[in-house]
Amino acid sequence: MRSGGLSTRRVYHVARADFLQRIRSRRLLVVLAVIAYVGYLVNVGTVEIFYQDSSNEQLYQYAGEPTSAYIGLTAAVTGASILFLAGYYVLSGSLERDRTTGVERLVGSTSTTDRELLLGKWFSHVGLVVVLLGTLGAAALLNHLVHGTGSTDPLWILGSVFLLGLPIGCFVAGVTLLFQSTDRLRGTVGNVVYFFGAMMLAVAAVPAVGDRAPTEIPLWARMTDTIGLFALGELTYDAVLEIESGYDGLGVANFGAGSAGAEVVRFHWTGDSWPLWFYANRFGLVLLGAGFALAATVPYDRFSSASSSSGTGLVDRFRGVVPSLGSAADEPNETVRRPNEATLTPVTDRSAGGFGRLLGQELRLLVRDQPWWWYAGALLIGFIGLTGSAPPEAIVSAAAVWPIFLWSSMGVRMIRHRMTPFIISSRQPYGQLLAEWTAGAIMTAAFFGVALWPVVLETGIGGIIVLLGAVVFVPSLAQAMGLWSRTRRLFELLYLLLWYVGPLNGVPALDFAGATAETAGTATPLLFGAVGVGALVAALTHRYRQT
């Protein structure tokens, strides 16, 4: 069936094939297990919607009793937040998979249009979002039967989860397709840009809140609501005032684990009508998502995997400028050796190469072929770090995030390029793993070294332990995550979250990089080092199972 030049049958089959391929992945089970666990956490109070206010130096935390409506809201806002911040990394493998498996070329040679293909992919992404939200809703529902207060109302729990989660899922699905269709955004750059973009968008309207009550917040600000916090405020604010009429904290609800030292006061809320603007807001997100999917047809290149590189590396460009360094292809034809006159140098010692040569090769693979601006940024970090011309927390934070472009390829590279049989059947399957790790550790030491040397000089052994902890932790985590997930996105998401909270926002317990200058001499770097050792052992175990 065709409508407006669009074959719904084609769109359906693109979506169906992509969806089936996705839900048959065993890794999805892990994601679903985590989502189901979140459904449990919201019922036992580990994750809550709450308001905070202080009085006489006592922090009060107003959270709801676990009624169906409250649990539905909590599960919904948690699910929407997970989808908004992490959904991109879960959804974005589809086009990449088509490229690496050659499906893209097959589809590209058919009369399926880019619009049909990308819409089909968008529906598949939305289908996966439905599976994720369904899992969360079912888990929240079942756990409410055990842990909740009052009757279990499926409509409130499932309805809230889907009303908040599905539109944001549609939105993220569209953004994902747009990024993955854009050459410069489909790799680590896009992953990092999305992370910061989502963080900024999530809190973009918070300055407009001030000390206003939820209904007094300007409509334009409410319409930017992504994860539903403004709507939650409108729904539950009165219930807080019922138990504490003097509440003068933020008019927007917060959610999460709350503060350990706060006195928790429970309010009773059994549901209310969703504000009308919220329906418009959610509908807008769905439209935006579909719009992004259609906009992705502009940058999308259906033959991207077939097109050859023009050699974009620095060396290639340099060769272009200095012809004498050009490839042998430019030179006169050399004598082609005939097989029957072949005399090959005999190999007398197949163990002469050693670890050093392999390390050199892995170091080359790790460092080369970054865009020019990455090398420029690395040089700048090196210069600023060595001259000590920036505050330590700033330079350490920068040094801790810039090499993510290198680290995130660890563990994944051989899988992505189908090199596994060569490595497993070689004489150094473990050597390759350790060489890749060592190359990563060398680069980590270089970046952290130039940033942390003042701390090391100041604190002595404590600073050295901070440096060593980071050097062990980061490459080990990157390699283990890459090997297990077979994608760079898991590491990028986890690492960026950790970096954002720890080094950048200065939470000492998560500051693996020593940006806060409070971790030297504490157990924190030792703990991160221990996690790194554990991750390295996990990677070696993975290789052992492969061999």
Partner 1 sequence: MNLRLTNVGKRYAEGVWGVREVDLELEQGIHGLLGPNGAGKSTLMRIITTVAEPTTGNTYWNGTDTGETPAAVRDVLGYLPQQFGVYPDLTATEFLEYIAALRGLDRETADARIEELLALTNLQQARDDRLRTFSGGMRQRVGIAQALVNDPELLVVDEPTVGLDPEERVRFRNVLSSTASDRVVLLSTHIVPDIEATATTVALLEEGELVTHTDPESLVEATDGKVYEYVVPRDDLGDVRREYQVSGTVQRADGVSVRVIADERPAPDATAVTPTLEDAYLDRIERRGAA
Which lies closer to partner 1 via its Cβ, residue 24 or residue 338?
338
Q: Is 336 in the site for partner 1 (CB under 8 A)?
A: yes
Given 323, 338, 373, 389, the residue binding partner 1 (CB under 8 A):
338
Q: How far apart are CA 140 and CA 142, in angstroms?
A: 6
Q: How far apart are CA 17 and CA 99, in angstroms?
A: 15
Given 324, 329, 373, 389, the residue binding partner 1 (CB under 8 A):
329
Which lies closer to partner 1 via its Cβ, residue 256 or residue 354?
354
Given 211, 350, 373, 389, the residue binding partner 1 (CB under 8 A):
350
Name the pairing type of β-strands 254-256 and 48-55: antiparallel
- Nearest distance in Å: CB 345, partner 1: 4
Which lies closer to partner 1 via its Cβ, residue 46 or residue 547?
547
Q: How far apart are CA 20 and CA 5, in angstroms?
A: 26
- Nearest distance in Å: CB 186, partner 1: 15
Which lies closer to partner 1 via its Cβ, residue 108 or residue 429?
429
**Binding segment toward partner 1, per CB under 8 A, in 144-152, 232-240, 346-354, 440-448:** 346-354
Q: Is 353 in the site for partner 1 (CB under 8 A)?
A: yes
Burial of 310 (0-12, 13-18, 19+ CB in 10 A): exposed
Given 212, 369, 402, 446, the residue binding partner 1 (CB under 8 A):
369
- Nearest distance in Å: CB 382, partner 1: 24
The two structure tokens encoding residue 174: 């569209």
Q: Is 327 in the site for partner 1 (CB under 8 A)?
A: yes
User: Hey, what amino acid is at 100?
Assistant: T
> Which x/- pattern, by CB under 8 A, does the window 262-301 give for partner 1?
----------------------------------------
465's CB contacts (< 8 A; 6+ apart) are: 520, 525, 526, 529
Q: Cα dist. 429→425, 536, 538 in Å? A: 7, 15, 15
Which lies closer to partner 1 via its Cβ, residue 196 or residue 544?
544
Binding residues for partner 1, total number by CB under 8 A: 54
Read off φ and ψ for residue 70, nearest 5 degrees. Answer: -70, -45
Given 364, 379, 380, 544, the residue binding partner 1 (CB under 8 A):
364
Which lies closer to partner 1 via its Cβ, residue 79 or residue 187?
187
N-terminal to C-terminal alpha carbon distance within the chain: 51
Q: Is 309 in the site for partner 1 (CB under 8 A)?
A: yes
Which lies closer to partner 1 via its Cβ, residue 270 or residue 361?
361
Q: Is 328 in the site for partner 1 (CB under 8 A)?
A: yes
Given 141, 158, 239, 365, the residue binding partner 1 (CB under 8 A):
365
Q: How far apart are CA 446 and CA 33, in angstroms?
A: 38
**Binding segment toward partner 1, per CB under 8 A, in 17-25, 68-76, 186-194, 360-368:** 360-368
Q: Cα dist. 289→98, 112, 164, 277, 547 in Å? A: 21, 21, 14, 18, 44
Q: How far apart are CA 488 and CA 413, in angstroms?
A: 9
Given 3, 56, 245, 351, the residue binding partner 1 (CB under 8 A):
351
Q: Is 317 in the site for partner 1 (CB under 8 A)?
A: no
Rg of the chain, C-alpha, whole Å: 27
Residues numbered 407-466 forming contacts with partner 1, rule: CB under 8 A: 413, 417-429, 432
User: Hey, what amino acid is at 515?
Assistant: A
**Binding segment toward partner 1, per CB under 8 A, in 91-99, 197-205, 212-220, 308-316:** 308-316
Which lies closer to partner 1 via its Cβ, residue 2 or residue 545?
545
Given 360, 376, 380, 457, the residue binding partner 1 (CB under 8 A):
360
Cβ(51)–Cβ(138) below 8 Å: no
Q: How far apart are CA 456 and CA 396, in angstroms?
A: 13
Given 354, 376, 386, 387, the residue binding partner 1 (CB under 8 A):
354
Angle 461-485/524-546 helices, nearest 10 degrees?
30
The two structure tokens encoding residue 476: 């080990």
C-alpha triplet 400, 401, 407: angle, nearest 5°: 95
- Nearest distance in Å: CB 363, partner 1: 11
504's CB contacts (< 8 A; 6+ apart) are: 397, 401, 515
Q: Is 345 in the site for partner 1 (CB under 8 A)?
A: yes
Which lies closer to partner 1 via its Cβ, residue 176 or residue 432?
432
The two structure tokens encoding residue 21: 């391929």
Q: What is the 3-state secondary structure (H, E, C) of 2-45?
A: EECCEEHHHHHHHHHHHHHHHHCCHHHHHHHHHHHHHHHHCCCC
Element (H, E) at 273: none
Q: Is 342 in the site for partner 1 (CB under 8 A)?
A: yes
**Binding segment toward partner 1, per CB under 8 A, in 343-351, 385-393, 394-402, 447-455:** 343-351
Cβ(139)–Cβ(36) below 8 Å: yes
Given 357, 461, 505, 537, the residue binding partner 1 (CB under 8 A):
357
Q: Is 320 in the site for partner 1 (CB under 8 A)?
A: no
Q: Is 335 in the site for partner 1 (CB under 8 A)?
A: yes
Name the pairing type of β-strands 58-64 and 254-256: unpaired
Judged by the rule CB under 8 A, the positions of this chain that interact with partner 1 are 308-309, 311, 313, 316, 327-329, 331, 333-340, 342-354, 357-358, 360-361, 364-365, 368-369, 413, 417-429, 432, 547
